[in-house]
């Protein structure tokens, strides 16, 4: 299954959270089988989690593909700030309020 989300966290912080959620020291204990600047693939004998990140403006686009670990991926995405529509609206409102204070 494939998943997509956006967060205001920088790429390095998303990678840290992914390591905590999927890596060898996590409850899943998956091995890192691919390690590129903004990509990680975690796997074991039963499945995998492939994470791809890219920065777009002030957002980090998070793309995940998994086999056997859908529940863990969904928990990971739910824990990212800015990944829900409500977080995105709050972020835009905060930006607007900051701009209003700078102008006045």
> Domains, the chain, ranges and CATH?
2-103 (3.30.310)
Tell me: the pLDDT tens digits for 34-71? Answer: 999 999 999 999 999 999 999 988 899 999 999 999 99
Question: pTM, whole model, 2 decimals?
Answer: 0.77
User: Please, how many CA atoms are within 13 Å of residue 6, restricted to the half-sphere of its CB?
Assistant: 11
What would the two tokens of residue 46 be?
């039963």
Query: Long-range contact list for 28-34, CB < 8 A, 24+ apart?
Result: 28/69, 28/72, 30/69
């Amino acid at each position: 299954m494939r998943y997509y989300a956006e967060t205001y966290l920088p790429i390095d912080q998303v990678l840290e959270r992914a390591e905590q959620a999927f890596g060898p020291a996590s409850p899943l204990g998956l091995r890192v089988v691919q390690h590129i600047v903004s990509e990680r693939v975690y796997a074991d004998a039963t499945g995998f989690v492939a994470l791809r990140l890219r920065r777009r403006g002030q957002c980090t686009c998070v793309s995940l593909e998994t086999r056997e670990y859908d529940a863990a991926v969904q928990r990971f995405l739910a824990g990212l700030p800015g990944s829900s529509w409500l977080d995105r609206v709050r972020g835009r409102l905060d930006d607007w309020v900051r701009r209003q204070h700078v102008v006045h």
